[in-house]
Chain A
Amino acid sequence: MKEKFKRLFSGGLGQMTIPIIALALLVIFNLIRDTSFFSIGIMHNNDGNAVLSGNIITIINGASELAILAMGMTLVTAACGGQDISVGAAAAIAGSVFVKVLKASTAISGGTVVLAFLCACIVAMLFALFNGTLVAVFKIQPMIATLILYTCGRSIAYWINGGATPTVYSSIITAIGGFIPGIPVPTPVLIVVVMALLFRVLFHFTSLRLFTQSVGINGDAARLNGINSTFIKLLSFLILGVCVAVSGCIGVSRLGLINHETLLLDIEMDTILAVAIGGNSLGGGKFKIGGSIIGAYVIQTLTITLYAMKVSSTDVKAYKAIVIILMVVIGSPVVKERFGKFMARLVHGSKRVSVKGVEE
């Protein structure tokens, strides 16, 4: 245990050091501030369902879209060494398609919802393929390549539904965005769990993790070893496309309408941040999806903590920026190294050797 603790401080836990410390700090801060922050209760909502409520639930529920996007973004980051900044706009397109298909049917049944989701998925993957082709085939910097869709994506979403903000009314949609009758856990949370499991299964039964890492570290070397790096990059974008469709559909279901201008607005920056807080190198290579998921919850905990401190929703962004600067600076290699040396000097003497041993 003591060993582990020491390793944590010298950055030995590797990637997971920053996200875990950040989350722990936020939890400790809230414990000191107000213990009732963590209380969870059961309430009955308008449909008569017993539902869990409390700040913790709000955090886990509210971060769902972000967590799902962060999973896909981690893969793209690892494979391409760059980020897709069009996820928010693409989610607006996917959401618009979702609503368009739902609106086209007279009565919304389980089948139509599945069909609508599949259509949203296909469209999102087509746009992801467009991004992926620019990056993988034409070797354009990911941020520049996806800037195109970032700029025009919401206009495309605007065309799909003719500029309106159509509403969809169905108990199934309410269940997806809120609660399934009889289950007190918010449905988006369940969807995150399913997505995380899917990634786990994917990595378990394929060599995608290894291939992605080698492409990210050195694409040419990977190619010489028989890995089709273009295909791996395209694949990472396609998987992100699925994540985009899922989070777009959750976003639509929460409100029961699509507003192409505001759906998941500014989420791309939070997603990239989640990946960064997760300890993943934004330059590609080794990655941990678990880290990004924790990163997403760190960001949401920060937001809700600020809300709980009665900071208004318009001011939150500024405060968030300050905390994030601190987090990133603390997590930077320079600070980590100095801190590691400082700790080593503190424990001194014989223990100093053991720390060195870990480093070696």
Chain B
Amino acid sequence: MKRKTLLLVGLLVLACLLTACGKDKDELIKIGVVNNPPSESGYREANVKDMEAVFSKDNGYDLKTFYSIKNDEQLQAAQGFITEGVDYLLISAAETTGWDDVLKKAKEAGIKVYLFDRMINVDASLYEAAVVSDMAKEGETAVKWLLDQNLSEYKVIHIQGAMGSDAQIGRTNALEEQFKSGKMTKVAQQTASWSEDEAKKIVEAVINSGEDFNVIYAENDGMAKGAVAALDAAGITHGVDGKVIVMGFDCNKWALRELLAKKWNYDGQCSPFQAKIISDLIKSGKAPSQKTIINEEKGFDAKTLTQSDIDTYGLGD
């Protein structure tokens, strides 16, 4: 009998110790990240790596991630994070719509939401802050650069990103205005959903149809690369001294090197480093002074680009 009591006491002590251990883990800030998959592009790869580095255990975070390019899967995952009871929810949405209900539920559960990289079409009260790139401005900067080239005619192949994403909408709108005003001619406008292969097919189709064009406006670097592969196969020159102007976005290092080699003409920057800003906001414990925090971004011209630009602004390796 005595031995049994001892055993019971022993077990109780052990249980207390275990919960004490568990308590240590509770002090970590629980972060749920809903993002697009790293395979999407060089931009996303850098973005995901940055998130994982900043929200590490050493920095006091317990990070849970979910990656998908499909909006409904993302919504489900966000729902899952809310049920699980995270402290903060970070979202880069596949599409700008459909998020109201989930964000309302997060608010009811007392979970603070930060948007990063891409905006969502919801009431600003539903999130703490959005640390984003101004995609519309990226598009405007690029189109302004294109107009500054003073070509006698603009026959544009427009390769779009995944339809409905903030990046696609922003980068498309600026060009769409030019099509509407008649300043530029739309030879082809089609989505390749950020895929290099699909972009290559689109350009091949235009080449085979025998239609003339002199500008390729691809909404990210990978698609520009696919487009250029199609040009190379058909023996059409491109770049600074070539027939076709090639434009991309994101500023991957390899893409900037293409610019330096004068094979491409323009690359618009899109900064993937939002994690540090969000982490600082969380650690400060105060509500951010403004709802939308915009990363400063530039555009690079092959004629003026230098190696040091590549080292400073290039993504990946």
> Please, how many angstroms separate the alpha-carbon atoms of A261 and B38 in the complex?
11
> Please, how many angstroms separate the alpha-carbon atoms of A166 and B204 in the complex?
23
* Mask: chain A, 194-227; 1 = CB below 8 Å from B; 0 = not: 0000000000000000000000000000000000
> Please, how many angstroms separate the alpha-carbon atoms of A62 and B207 in the complex?
13
| Contact (Cβ within 8 A) B39 A165 | yes
> Whole-angstrom distance from the CB of A255 to the nearest CB of chain B?
5
| Contact (Cβ within 8 A) B45 A163 | yes
| Contact (Cβ within 8 A) A307 B208 | yes
Among A36, A177, A186, A261, the residue within 8 A (CB) of B195 is A261
Q: Interface residues of B toward A: which range?
A: 35 or more
* Mask: chain A, 147-191; 1 = CB below 8 Å from B; 0 = not: 000000000001000011101010000100110000000100000
| Contact (Cβ within 8 A) B201 A313 | yes
| Contact (Cβ within 8 A) B234 A43 | yes
> Please, how many angstroms separate the alpha-carbon atoms of A61 and B233 in the complex?
9
| Contact (Cβ within 8 A) A257 B225 | yes
> Which residue of chain B has its CB nearest to the CB of A53?
B235
**Does A106 touch B at the CB level, under 8 Å?**
no
How many A-B residue pairs have C-beta atoms within 8 angstroms? Tell me.
Answer: 113
**Does B226 touch A at the CB level, under 8 Å?**
yes
> Please, how many angstroms separate the alpha-carbon atoms of A265 and B236 in the complex?
26
Knowing A259-B39, A310-B209 are in contact, say whether A58-B201 is a contact too (CB < 8 A).
no
> Please, how many angstroms separate the alpha-carbon atoms of A43 and B254 in the complex?
26
Q: What residues of chain B lie closer than 8 Å to A313, measured between beta carbons? A: 190, 198, 201-202, 204-205
| Contact (Cβ within 8 A) A169 B254 | yes
| Contact (Cβ within 8 A) A312 B205 | yes
| Contact (Cβ within 8 A) A312 B190 | yes
**Does B32 touch A at the CB level, under 8 Å?**
no
User: Which of the candidate stretches A44-52, A108-116, A332-340 sits at the interface with the other chain?
Assistant: A44-52
> Which residue of chain A has its CB nearest to the CB of B45?
A164
> Whole-angstrom distance from the CB of A38 to the nearest CB of chain B?
12
Q: What residues of chain A lie closer than 8 Å to B234, measured between beta carbons? A: 43, 53, 58
Knowing A44-B235, A312-B190 are in contact, say whether A262-B210 is a contact too (CB < 8 A).
no
Knowing A45-B237, A178-B233 are in contact, say whether A165-B208 is a contact too (CB < 8 A).
no
> Please, how many angstroms separate the alpha-carbon atoms of A296 and B209 in the complex?
21
**Does B197 touch A at the CB level, under 8 Å?**
yes
Q: What residues of chain A lie closer than 8 Å to B309, measured between beta carbons? A: none
Residue with the highest number of chain A CB atoms closer than 10 Å, among B201, B205, B209: B205
**Does A263 touch B at the CB level, under 8 Å?**
yes
| Contact (Cβ within 8 A) B204 A257 | no
Q: What residues of chain B lie closer than 8 Å to A165, measured between beta carbons? A: 39, 41-42, 45, 196, 222
| Contact (Cβ within 8 A) A308 B195 | no
Residue with the highest number of chain B CB atoms closer than 10 Å, among A53, A311, A313: A313
> Please, how many angstroms separate the alpha-carbon atoms of A308 and B205 in the complex?
7
Q: What residues of chain B lie closer than 8 Å to A177, measured between beta carbons? A: 229
**Does B294 touch A at the CB level, under 8 Å?**
no
| Contact (Cβ within 8 A) A254 B195 | no
> Please, how many angstroms separate the alpha-carbon atoms of A158 and B67 in the complex?
13
Knowing A55-B208, A169-B257 are in contact, say whether A44-B237 is a contact too (CB < 8 A).
yes
| Contact (Cβ within 8 A) A43 B39 | no
Q: What residues of chain B lie closer than 8 Å to A45, measured between beta carbons? A: 231-232, 235-237
> Whole-angstrom distance from the CB of B225 to the nearest CB of chain A?
6
Contact residues of B between 134 and 166, Cβ < 8 Å to A: none
> Which residue of chain B has its CB nearest to the CB of A154?
B39
| Contact (Cβ within 8 A) A307 B205 | yes
> Please, how many angstroms separate the alpha-carbon atoms of A262 and B39 in the complex?
10
> Please, how many angstroms separate the alpha-carbon atoms of A322 and B237 in the complex?
36
**Does A331 touch B at the CB level, under 8 Å?**
no
Q: What residues of chain A lie closer than 8 Å to B190, measured between beta carbons? A: 312-314
Q: What residues of chain A lie closer than 8 Å to B236, measured between beta carbons? A: 43, 45, 53
Contact residues of B between 166 and 222, Cβ < 8 Å to A: 188, 190-191, 195-198, 200-202, 204-205, 207-211, 222
> Please, how many angstroms separate the alpha-carbon atoms of A58 and B231 in the complex?
11
> Which residue of chain A has its CB nearest to the CB of B263?
A46
Contact residues of A between 250 and 279, Cβ < 8 Å to B: 254-257, 259-263, 265
> Whole-angstrom distance from the CB of B88 to the nearest CB of chain A?
24
| Contact (Cβ within 8 A) A167 B208 | no
Q: What residues of chain B lie closer than 8 Å to A355, measured between beta carbons? A: none
> Please, how many angstroms separate the alpha-carbon atoms of A213 and B45 in the complex?
49
Q: What residues of chain B lie closer than 8 Å to A316, measured between beta carbons? A: 205
Chain A interface (Cβ < 8 Å from any Cβ of B): 36, 42-46, 49, 51-53, 55, 58, 61-62, 158, 163-165, 167, 169, 174, 177-178, 186, 254-257, 259-263, 265, 304, 307-314, 316
Instruction: Taking A256-B225, A313-B190 as given, write out 13 further A-B residue pairs in contact, using a Cβ cutoff of 8 Å, ordered by the A residue number.
Output: A46-B242, A53-B235, A163-B48, A165-B42, A178-B232, A186-B233, A254-B229, A255-B225, A262-B197, A304-B208, A310-B209, A313-B202, A314-B190
Q: Which 4 A-B pairs have the closest CB atoms?
A: A43-B235, A307-B205, A307-B208, A51-B235
26 contacts between A and B (CB under 8 A): A45-B231, A45-B235, A46-B237, A53-B235, A53-B236, A55-B208, A58-B233, A158-B39, A163-B38, A164-B38, A165-B42, A165-B45, A165-B196, A186-B233, A254-B200, A255-B196, A255-B200, A255-B225, A256-B225, A259-B39, A259-B222, A262-B195, A304-B208, A309-B209, A313-B198, A313-B205
